[in-house]
Structure 1
Amino acid sequence: MPPLNDLRARAAAFEAEAHALFGQIESARSRVIQLDESYRKLGLLNLKQDELMRQALRCAEQGLYRAAHVMAWAAFMDFYEDLLASDGMVALRAARPGWTHVASMEELREYQAEFGLLELAQPLHLATKNETRALQSMLNKRNQCAHPSSFTPDLNSTLGYMSEVLHYLTLLAGKTPH
């Protein structure tokens, strides 16, 4: 009989191969697991953002697709807001001189809509014009999920949305506003 470690390794290899095969089937849970593996490679989120993204993945696994959109966007916005504040909000204040009454990112969240914060991506050299539009489109999709609407995402659109969130997190990683 093979040693226990060998059996564990074989079981893990079988599981990985099964997820790779079933991940090609549209309704398979394995597709969420593949997204989870992509997410694990990211490693750039703080603990709060990590927990928000894990909640999004759990929602997707359970078929709570609207909630998955909302949680993935919450993780993204927390990351983005941290990025905007990373220089003490100096670049943000230079780009929006009228926002001087706001002393912190927490206050800014209270007074400024997310769409307005996303508009800063291009002038602060965090994203191109097209990337900024894509982020605004993602916010619109999140709003459809967070508020009463006829939008009912399925597994495909949810996985696509979450993949897009991961893409933009990676795109913004390491950038600084200026």
Structure 2
Amino acid sequence: MLLEDLTKSLSGTPVDVQDYFSEAIACLEGELYRSGIVLAWAGHFHVFSEACYQKHEADIRTARAKWAFKDLAELKELIAESQFLIVAKDVKFTTKAQLRILDGQLSQRNQCAHPTLYRPSMNAAIGYVDDMIRQTLSYLPPPL
């Protein structure tokens, strides 16, 4: 997979999505693999959380009655990303199998975002960014 192919796959997506992933790809080109992984997760989680919230806001409020939030931005400040992933499964936005994958991807992102000895290879970073782009595209309506 060439980095140009990753860039082409973003064609027709919203500008904010293109920004996250274009920057992630630029990090890969500059051999900043951890940064690329962090940005790819950020782009994915931005779209994932918006899509889940749009489809299941009432279900989220019912499933987590103790969570007091006025909108998605406040909810994302209130809870950890891992908690959002769990509620997404609980309201049937994702499956248990998808949750396991997302948990693994979040864990890899956390290894890259916090001081650790983890240094992903170029291939691992490209694979991660590719996975995040493909998953993100699955939450978006098809381009016109």
**Structure 2 CA distance for aligned equivalents of residues 49 and 85 of structure 1:** 17
Task: Name the structure 1 match of 2:44.
Answer: 76
**Alignment pair present for 1:142 and 2:105:** no
TM-score for the superposition, normalised by structure 1: 0.73
Deviations 1:35-86 (A, max 9, x none): 222333xx34x32222111100111111110000011011011101211321
Q: How many equivalent residue pairs? A: 141
Counterpart in the other structure of 1:95: 63
- RMSD (Å) for aligned C-alpha atoms: 1.7
In structure 1, list runs of 5 or more residues that go unmatched: 1-22, 24-30
Residue in structure 2 matched with residue 117 of structure 1 by the alignment: 84
Per the TM alignment, residue 88 of structure 1 is displaced from its structure 2 partner at its CA by 7.5
Aligned to 2:7: 36
- Is the 8 Å Cα contact of residues 20 and 39 (structure 2) preserved in structure 1? yes
CA contact (8 A) 1:126 1:172 kept: no
Structure 1 residue 87: deviation in Å? 4.3
Taking a change above 3 Å as real, the CA distance of residues 81 and 67 of structure 1, as seen in their structure-2 partners, is same
| CA distance in 2 between partners of 1:102 and 1:95 (Å) | 13
Cα–Cα, structure 1 residues 37 and 49, in superposed 2: closer, same or farther, change >3 Å?
A: closer
1:53 aligns to what? Answer: 21
Larger Cα-atom Rg: 1
Is residue 158 from structure 1 mapped to residue 125 from structure 2 by the alignment? yes
Quote the Cα distance in structure 2 between the aligned partners of 1:95 and 1:134: 22
Shift of 1:163: 1.3
- Greater CA drift, 61-70 or 79-88: 79-88
Question: Structure 2 counterpart of 1:137, which letter?
Answer: G
Whole-angstrom CA distance in 1 between matches of 2:95 and 2:102? 10
- Secondary structure at the counterpart of residue 120 of structure 1: helix
Is the Cα–Cα contact under 8 Å of residues 84 and 92 in structure 1 kept in the other structure?
no
Which structure is higher in RCO with an 8 Å CA cutoff and minimum separation 6?
2
Q: Distance in 1 between matches of 2:103 and 2:140?
A: 18
**Fraction of identical pairs, as percent:** 28
The alignment's TM-score, normalised by the length of structure 2, stands at: 0.88
Equivalent-residue separation in structure 2 for 1:153 and 1:77 (angstroms): 20
